[in-house]
Structure 1
Amino acid sequence: MAIIPKTNRRDFLKMAATASGGLLLGFHWASADATSASMEVISDAANIPLGAVDFNSYLSIAPDGIITIFSPNPELGQNIKTSFPMIVAEELDADWTNVKVMQAPLDTKKFERQVTGGSGAIPHSWERLRKAGATARHMLVEAAAKRWNVPATTLVADKSIVQHIESGRKLSYGELAAEASNVAIPTDVKLKDIKDFKLIGTPIRNVDNHEMITGKPLYGLDFYREGMLFAMIQRPQAFGMKIKSVDAAAAKGMPGITAVVTFKNNVAIVGKSTWQVNKARKVLKVEYEAEGAIESTLDHDRLFKELLESKDAVVKRKDGDVDTAFKNAAKVISREYQCPFLSHAPMEPMNFFAHVRADGAELIGPTQTPEMARNETAKLLGLSPEQVTVDLTRLGGGFGRRLKADYVLEAAELSSIVKAPVKVIWTREDDMTGGSYRPAVRYRFEAALDTNGNMIGYKLKGVGINAGNTTREDNFPSGAVENILIESVEHKSPITTGAWRAPITNFLAFAEQAFLDEVASAVKQDPIAFRLALLDKAKQSPVGAVKYDIDRMKAVITTAAEKSQWGKKKDVAQGFSVYFSHRSYVAQVAEISMKKGKPVLEKIYAAADCGVVVNLSGAYQQVRGGIVDGLGHALYSNLTFKDGVTEQKNFNTYRLIRMKEIPEIDVHFINNGIAPTGLGEPALPPTGGAVANALFKATGKRLYNQPFTKQEELKGVNLGERL
């Protein structure tokens, strides 16, 4: 096993020779098998305007050597717009300095899985992209071999140049592009050995860095088209309320306002600028009435207690004889953990542009699921999906919120009503009160121990509000305990919820790892040794299905322990956590020191196994970002309800982590040579558990609920505050 040192921060479609002699190579991301396609003539392959030609994702090579790669997946900061082209360029043996990357629009006939979510883009496309690059390289080498009348085996390709080894003759990809377009497309190509990678595994700057830093228009909020209208929407702030009456007279009389429209359960103010629209919205008078039950956070506390005693729970996994194990146990440990609703709070509030015409609809903006946006818009407007186009902007955060299409449909429906292009913009208050929150959940964990301190029984019951399955029943320690029962209960509520970064596991991991730590303490075992023993048991004598990779999990555990010098440091309390999610494994060690009698979080070590690391710089930022996100929400964030209304409406009351509160983060990757397995989410879940377990070591106090800073155990304490 090798450790990568820490760092800071399909198919080919042979299109045609271009009018200027360049080679255009398209590839279908749904498969990696090459096929022929009709020819297209492009005058400048290096500067193909987005959407000007009906392409799928493709690679083009211009006579001047510029290589253009279209990236189809939405980019929200997970680095996909840089990583996808890196994979193609690696197998192509391209000179990265001559690569241009462009965002592709939605095209479900030519692309597959144009989705950002579930940390699945790289795992899905890894082999497809490699074959795409390798196929192009093969064609270029064959073209050079034909020109020089030498065997292709005597040639090498490197940095966009093909060289004849014996004579030293060289030709650039640009010089070979036209001839390569006449080479037969191979049915199979040889991929590189991972050890021969030159680009993959290195730190590469994000391809949008310059545009982001210099304020170039990249995001949905940046989009502007001459003649478009702006709109803001008044939505019921209380869940379970409906419109009773609307008085829009004053708003309609405001400067720049072109329409006030009531549709669904909303009132939209439409005008010529966001400033004018926002001012008019403030004088709009809307009266609401109750449509159903109105919930409050206090009701949820009572509800959770009732649901935990419910006999209607859905059994998600059951191994062995759980009742007998607990009946005969020498000791039973039972603990409960609870988390609140959370807002996604993306830095860029929700927004989308729509232009609905008689012959179709045009959508432009930030979405994680462009196909869903297209299909739901088509259904809403009575169009065929082929009549709806979707162009993607960069997303200023999503975290699961932009998996939904509600805000897209608002823009589309409004445009259809006012018969004009419209851009709908949410305010931060709209975002905080508009729903689609992380579900509130409560867990009860129980462990049955025998006289030797062995865990012979394990129970987990999760109850959640619009959470679906509150558990991940096949995750560790399932498979390592003879008798196990995992159940889930869901309560339906008018409060809307949705996937929030690392769905369910974002809190479940904390609760599980904090509980296992407490069990280890009760049997007087080192927390890491306790987990490793359970993993050994799952490997030697598995109970039921084991759906996680034991060796990969052990590798991150031992690496985190080694890098943090687990148990060898003085004057520092260490807490451990490990979790498997989205096909990857992350172990963390948090360190807390006591300063002036108060605990301070100083450092977090992380060992991650996500398979082959594509972009070392981007991977580091994903782990670091996941840890910061997990830490901040575990410490501070809290969304509560009173009479169905959120009590937090902006960042003055909804607390996020601040830069000065971020500890040092030391990241290490396991290089095991397997295909990539996802990294956008796996680093978040373990963080809360590592921090809570370190706090126990430092103070002797256990934490059971989030946010930590709202708990009595941390009254007057800010773990992230540097003294």
Structure 2
Amino acid sequence: MTDISTTSRRNFMKLAATAGGGLVLAFSWTNTLASAVMEVLDDTNLASGKIDFNSYLSISPDDVITIFSPNPELGQNIKTSFPMIVAEELDADWTKVKVVQAPLDTNKFERQVTGGSGAVPHSWERLRKAGATARQMLLEAAAKRWKVSADTLTTENGVVVHKASGRKLTYGELATEASKVPVPTDVKLKDTKDFKLIGKAIRNVDNYEMITGKPLYGLDVYRDGMLYAVIQRPKAFGMKLKSVDAAAAKAIPGVVDVVTFKNNVAVVGTSTWQVNKARKALKIDYEAEAPLESSSDHDRIFKELLSSKEATVRRKDGDVEAAFKKAAKVVTAEYQCPFLSHSPMEPMNFFADVRPDGVELIGPIQTPERARADVAKLLNIAPEKVTLELTRLGGGFGRRLYGDYVLEAAELSSIVKKPIKLVWTREDDMTGGTYRPAVRYRFEAALDAKGNMIGYKLRGAGINSGNPTREDNFPSGAVENLLIDSIEHQSPITTGAWRAPITNFLAFAEQAFLDEVAQAAKKDPVQFRLELLDKAKNAPVGAIKYDIDRMKGVINLAAEKAGWGKKEGVSQGFSVYFSHRSYVAQVADVVMKEGKPAVDRIHAAVDCGIVVNLSGAYQQVRGGVIDGLGHAIYSNLTFKDGAAEQSNFNNYRLIRMKEVPEVDVYFVNNGIDPTGLGEPALPPTGGAVANAIYKATGKRLRNQPFINQPELKTV
């Protein structure tokens, strides 16, 4: 196996600057709107390492441009998009751009986090200024050499050009001289119409390494002398360890130790095969310390929560009770979603080496700073004594926001006094993971005699969900009388963020219910939503925390591109949602095949501001749509006596390749700064599909997964 070694900041700088000199710029990531803080690095401050910066742009004499990328990369494409933004303002030759993954460094970086679709929005302006500042310094260096005004010079593809004389110099040829130019405090950024790289389809910078199997992931990490470990955790949520008989496990060749700590039993040895074999030989007794919940219990709990008077009011506008009393018609419906596993392709794993002089951590984590702080607290040491190197993440979807597996690896290493590679199996991941919470929603709408929605009520009842509503999202602000509240059940089952947290299911429920209301009002579903948005714009009620025009824009674009209401033999369903600062509208086309509804095509209109990398953006949207479709139709995690009943992909259903429909993607070109994209395409999918299936079959789907609903089985 290949060793993934920590690349120190100083070693990186030595490589980037090269022996022949060069221009190395440090730029700040510390303020969303702040200008990049630049500092030229010469031999003196390279040697001292005492430079106040957070990340680097370097131009070496051989024309190589290098960027240290701080955020974890789990497939959202920031490792490609970040350097594209810098290279655009720099007018760089993209073929000569290199990207290096940065280790965790809280002194040099801010927000070394992947989550919430926030990486590009957070870094957009500072990255542009980093590239523009370097470009200006190169222009000044060329102007000084040629004894002309910098205003007479232009740049293109890594070259400074003096058109009047025909002279040209590459960035590499100017790099050393540029390093002596005073750093400009104010630089002009490109007009978006002049972008040459941003908006193009650029392949992922890690493609070659991924395709050829180069070591990029946590599971690739290897250190001489390290041991492998697996952990037997309680097999049910609500149980604790009672006794362990490890004699048979310890007798297996290659097993070094069996360690009991907290509520876990770890087997440590010289290979994953041996430790997994030994784990099966353990004899462990557990006892209950909390109620062992089953899915049948959750059905009862939801009924109690929905009728409870103890709910927390999240938003209240107008006189809701009066509106419902005078309503000509009231529409009521309930929707429910199950627990879901994150199921990333790479199960949880981490490397830890706890030594007297410090702790080395390597692996895939979405929140490295929090993981380091938690390890330092666990071991009672200063965070500065802990280093953390990031590998590429083989998926996460929110699961790797939580560093429980990092803590396990560190604690084990501290106990056995050896470097440890902790590996979870797929079964560990699915039965002991942090799940999407189960939620049930009750909606009520009051209509007047003309079909206008005059009252709206939503209650979210969740199991460990926090607040299962988004009280300020549409249609809030468009209804005079509105009440949104929530109520929770605390369970031993661990839950957490799952791609597009809360909105991943709430969007389906809201959008499917709005279709029911539109039908009761005898209005076209698209027109019904547009009328509500017009009402929110012309006569807003309370706070409006979404952009009405952007939402209307994607609605109109999706309807136009999908040929809404104009297709023969096709049943169409509509959905639109705002999440993570972006707007996505979808139309699902459903056709009947052998008497059953089948999703034939999904049209997605997306307003995420400027698209940095068209290739990555298309895949993010298509991936989100397919993820939303597959989980809405097929995925379900159930419990019996506190234990997950699904443990691997043989009984936890995901969408299959042959079931994936065509997905057409259309981006709104409005020129605003980028907003989120990793998550917003998922939430609208379930609603669009459910609404289309209703059109095709006359059957309303209110519970996920759809495949388990009797409404579909009778078609």
TM-score, length-normalised on structure 1? 0.95
Alignment check: 8 A CA contact 1:18 1:42 kept: no
Give the secondary structure class of the aligned counterpart of 2:62: coil
Q: Is 29-38 or 699-708 further displaced after alignment?
A: 29-38
Distance 1:42 1:259, change over 3 A: farther
Matched, 1:181 2:179: yes
- 1:263 and 2:292 correspond: no
State the Cα distance separating 1:226 from its structure 2 match. Answer: 1.4
Aligned to 1:409: 407
Residues in 2 aligned to 1:79 and 1:414: alpha-carbon distance in whole angstroms: 33
For the structure 1 residues 135 and 529, does the alpha-carbon distance in structure 2 shift closer, same or farther, using more than 3 Å as the test?
same
Residues 688-710 of structure 1 show CA distances to partners (whole Å, capped at 9, x for unaligned) of: 00000000000000000000000
Are 2:40 and 2:179, in contact at CA under 8 Å, matched by a contact in 1? Answer: no
CA contact under 8 A between 1:575 and 1:694: conserved in structure 2? yes
Structure 2 CA distance, aligned partners of 1:16 and 1:43?
14
How far did residue 417 of structure 1 move? 0.3
Any conservation in 2 of the 1:15–1:38 contact (CA below 8 Å)? no
* Paired residue type of 1:22: G
2:85 match: secondary structure: helix
TM-aligned CA deviation for residue 41 of structure 1:
3.9
Aligned partners of 2:353 and 2:419 also within 8 Å? yes
Q: Are 2:25 and 2:38, in contact at CA under 8 Å, matched by a contact in 1?
A: no
- 1:244 touches 1:287 (CA, 8 Å); kept in 2? yes
Read off the aligned partner of 1:424 and give its amino acid letter: L
Q: Distance in 2 between matches of 1:296 and 1:599?
A: 32
* CA shift digits 1:572-608 (9 cap, x unpaired): 0000000000000000000011122221110000000
> CA distance change for structure 1 residues 20 and 280 in 2, over 3 Å: closer, same or farther?
same
Tell me the residue number matched to 2:4: none
Structure 1 Cα separation of the partners of residues 201 and 37 of structure 2: 33
Determine helix, strand or coil for the equivalent of 2:498: coil
Q: What is the CA-CA distance between 1:34 and the residue it aligns to?
A: 5.1
Q: Tell me which residue corresponds to 1:503.
A: 501
CA contact 2:24–2:40 (8 Å) conserved in 1 = no
Q: Helix, strand or coil: the match of 2:684?
A: helix
Number of paired residues? 700
> Which residue of structure 2 lines up, in the alignment, with residue 5 of structure 1?
none
Aligned residue runs from structure 1 range 554-573, under 5 A: 554-573=552-571
Report the equivalent of 1:21: 21
Q: 1:15 offset after TM fit, Å?
A: 13
Residues 377-436 of structure 1: per-residue CA shift (max 9 Å, x gap):
000001111111110000000000000010000000000000010010000000011131
Partner of 2:245: 247
Indicate the SS of the match to 1:124. Answer: helix
Identify the residue that residue 131 of structure 2 maps to in structure 1. 133
- Report Cα offsets for 1:359-381 as digits up to 9, x if no partner: 21111000000001100000000
C-alpha displacement at 1:33, in angstroms? 3.8
Q: Contact conserved, 2:74 with 2:395, CA < 8 A, in 1?
A: yes
Secondary structure in 1 aligned to 2:668? strand
2:384 is aligned to: 386
User: What CA RMSD, in Å, does the superposition of the two structures yield over aligned residues?
Assistant: 1.9
Aligned partner of 1:30 in structure 2 is 30
Residues 36 and 44 (structure 1), Cα distance of their counterparts in 2 relative to 1, 3 Å cut: closer
| 2:681 corresponding residue in structure 1 | 683
Shift of 1:44: 12
One-letter amino acid of the counterpart of residue 613, structure 2? N
Q: Give the Cα–Cα distance (whole angstroms) in 2 for the partners of residues 242 and 365 of structure 1.
A: 28
Identity %: 77
Deviations along 1:294-351, one digit per CA (max 9) or x if unpaired, are: 1110000000000001111010000000010001111111100000000000000000
User: How do 1:34-433 residues align onto structure 2 when only pairs under 5 Å count?
Assistant: 35=37, 39=41, 41=43, 56-433=54-431
Judging changes above 3 Å, is the alpha-carbon distance between structure 1 residues 36 and 443 closer, same or farther for their aligned structure 2 residues? closer
**In the alignment, is the contact (CA less than 8 A) between 1:229 and 1:271 conserved in 2?**
yes
Q: Per the alignment, do residues 287 and 54 of structure 1 end up closer, same or farther by CA in structure 2, a change over 3 Å counting?
A: farther
Q: Which amino acid aligns with 1:23?
A: L
Question: Which runs of 5 or more structure 2 residues have no equivalent in the other structure?
Answer: 1-12
Aligned with 1:591: secondary structure?
Answer: strand
Aligned residue in 2 for 1:537: 535
Residue 570 of structure 2 contacts residue 589 of structure 2 at CA under 8 Å; is this kept in 1? yes
CA drift of 1:616 comes to 0.3
1:317–1:484 contact (8 Å) kept in structure 2: yes
Identify if the C-alpha distance between structure 1 residues 42 and 660 changes in structure 2 by more than 3 Å, giving closer, same or farther.
Answer: farther
Separation in 2 of the partners of 1:105 and 1:506? 31
> In the alignment, which residue of structure 1 is the partner of 2:646?
648
Measure the CA separation in 1 of the matches of 2:645 and 2:403.
25
Q: Residue type matched to 1:144 in 2? A: A
Over 3 Å counting, the alpha-carbon distance change for 1:314 and 1:22 in structure 2 is same
Question: Which SS does the other structure have where 1:415 is aligned?
Answer: helix
Q: Distance in 2 between matches of 1:171 and 1:200?
A: 24
Q: 1:40 Cα deviation (Å)?
A: 5.4
Gaps of at least 5 residues in structure 1 are 1-12, 46-50, 718-723
- Shift in Å, 1:35: 4.7
C-alpha contact 1:16 1:39 (8 A) present in aligned 2: no
Q: CA deviation at 1:195?
A: 0.6
**2:544 and 2:26 mapped to 1: Cα distance?**
41
AA matched with 1:544: G
Partner of 2:8: none
- Return the letter of the residue paired with 1:328: K
CA distance in structure 1 between the aligned counterparts of 2:378 and 2:541, rounded to whole angstroms: 49
* Amino acid aligned to 1:270: V
Give the corresponding residue for 2:6: none
1:441 is the counterpart of 2:442: no
Q: Equivalents in 1 of 2:178, 2:414: separation in Å?
A: 48
CA gap 1:686/1:17 in 2 versus in 1, 3 angstroms: closer
Structure 1 34/610 Cα, relative in aligned 2: closer, same or farther at 3 Å? closer
8 Å CA contact retained: 2:17, 2:59: no
- Residues 36 and 127, structure 2, Cα contact 8 Å, conserved in 1: no
Q: Indicate if the aligned counterparts of 1:14 and 1:181 stay in contact, CA closer than 8 A.
A: no
User: Aligned pair in 2 of structure 1 residues 395, 16: CA closer, same or farther (>3 Å)?
Assistant: closer
Q: 1:716 to 1:522 in 2, by over 3 A?
A: closer
1:231/1:518 Cα in 2 relative to 1: closer, same or farther (>3 Å)?
same
Matched position secondary structure for 1:547: coil
Q: Secondary structure at the match of 1:443?
A: strand
CA 1:172/1:354 → structure 2, altered by over 3 Å: closer, same or farther?
Answer: same
Alpha-carbon separation, structure 1, partners of 2:46 and 2:243:
57
Q: 1:674: which partner in 2?
A: 672
Are 1:627 and 2:618 counterparts? no
CA distance in 1, matches of 2:197, 2:263: 52
CA–CA distance in structure 1, aligned partners of residues 513 and 417 of structure 2: 57
Q: Counterpart of 1:479 in structure 2: which amino acid? A: G
Cα separation, 2, equivalents of 1:519 and 1:527: 9
Residue type of the alignment partner of 2:195: F
Residue 588 of structure 1 is matched in structure 2 by 586
Partner of 1:48: none
Q: Quick one: distance in 2 between partners of 1:81 and 1:328?
A: 56
CA distances 1:106-153 after superposition (whole Å, capped 9, x unpaired): 111111100000000111100010011111101111100111111100
CA shift for structure 1 position 19 = 3.1
What one-letter code is carried by the residue in structure 2 that aligns with 1:61? Answer: I
1:119 maps to a residue whose letter is S
Q: Give the TM-score taking structure 2 as reference length.
A: 0.96
Q: CA deviation at 1:16?
A: 11
Counterpart secondary structure, 1:119: coil
Contact 1:354/1:415, CA 8 A, preserved across alignment? yes
Per the TM alignment, residue 716 of structure 1 is displaced from its structure 2 partner at its CA by 7.5
Rounded Cα–Cα distance in structure 2 between residues aligned with 1:657 and 1:678: 25
Structure 2 residue matching 1:692: 3-state secondary structure: helix
Residue type at the aligned position of 2:287? E
Matches of 1:266 and 1:600 in 2, distance apart?
45
- Distance in 2 between the 1:536 and 1:651 partners? 46
CA drift of 1:524 comes to 1.1
Alignment correspondent of 2:10: none
Please tell me the residue identity of whatever aligns with 2:623: G
Q: CA deviation at 1:523?
A: 1.3
Once the 2 structures are TM-superposed, how far is the Cα of residue 165 of structure 1 from its aligned partner? 1.7
Residue 102 (structure 1) shift? 1.0
Q: Deviations over 1:177-213 (max 9, x none)?
A: 0000000001111111011100000000000001101
Distance in 1, Cα, partners of 2:17 & 2:103: 24
